[in-house]
A = this chain, B = another copy of it.
Amino acid sequence: MKTDFCKPSRRSPRDRIVEAARDLFRRRGIRGTGVDAIADAADSNKMTLYRHFSSKDDLIVECLRQAGMEMDGFWRELEDTYPGDGLGQLRAWIRRIAEHLDGDTCQCEMMSAAAQLTDEEHPGREVIRLFKDAQRDRVVELCRRAGIADAELLADTLLLLIEGARAAQQSSGAEGPSARFAEIADAAILSFAGSGTASR
């Protein structure tokens, strides 16, 4: 039995390290974050870190994997909330992103990581690629279920708008073009939904 009644927030060192790493990577960047700082922020130490991860790159990959799994969880959550309702899920997705834009932390580590892992051979890039591909497939499927005629085109449009909103947030700040992201994305959906709805 775990005696976690007095330290309920205390998870395993490994989990704390990954959590701390993700936080620091978001705030200070991947290259700008040293392993000592990660271990320190995780209230652990460098040795324990290197017992769980063979290298910093290994830790980076794990962080990206966890970020991807969290997104998967969100997708499932959406499916549960709007079962079979592609349009509802699309809209909820957009709403969620718009909310998270205002937050200080750019929720999607994938994009900023892609900008920082300049080495094309970095193992993390494969994780990013797989995630993006899966995300695109999912969005295309949602568009299709929403009865959009050219589902791929709307999906790509929305994906571009989303990545753009995140990027604009970083370069132009919250008052820049990203401020009207939700409005713009909804308009895109509307214009596609109006032009053609499939059979069922």
| Chain A residues within 8 Å of B, Cβ to Cβ | 27-29, 31-32, 110-112, 114-116, 118-119, 128-129, 132-133, 136, 153, 155-157, 159-168, 170-173, 176-181, 183-184, 187-188, 191
A181 to B116, CA, bound (A): 23
A195 to B187, CA, bound (A): 12
Which residues from B are CB-within-8-Å of A167? 111, 114-115, 163-164, 166-167
**Cross-interface CB contact of A118 among B29, B118, B153, B180, cutoff 8 Å:** B29
**Docked-complex contact A172 and B29, CB < 8 angstroms:** no
Mostly, the A contact residues are: helix
- 29 A-B pairs with CB atoms under 8 Å apart are A28-B118, A29-B116, A31-B32, A32-B119, A110-B171, A111-B115, A111-B170, A114-B167, A115-B115, A115-B116, A115-B167, A129-B172, A132-B168, A132-B171, A132-B172, A132-B176, A136-B172, A153-B183, A156-B184, A157-B184, A160-B160, A160-B161, A160-B168, A160-B181, A160-B184, A162-B164, A163-B167, A163-B177, A191-B191
Complex A-B, nearest 5 residue pairs according to Cβ-Cβ distance, in ascending order: A164-B164, A160-B164, A114-B171, A115-B115, A163-B164
**Docked-complex contact B168 and A159, CB < 8 angstroms:** yes
**Docked-complex contact A177 and B164, CB < 8 angstroms:** no
Shortest A31–chain B CB gap in Å is 4
Shortest A110–chain B CB gap in Å is 6
**Docked-complex contact A115 and B170, CB < 8 angstroms:** yes
**Cross-interface CB contact of A164 among B29, B115, B159, B172, cutoff 8 Å:** B159
Nearest neighbor of A165 in chain B, beta-carbon distance: B160
**Cross-interface CB contact of A27 among B118, B180, B184, B188, cutoff 8 Å:** B118
**Docked-complex contact A111 and B156, CB < 8 angstroms:** no
Shortest A83–chain B CB gap in Å is 27
Which residues from B are CB-within-8-Å of A155? 177
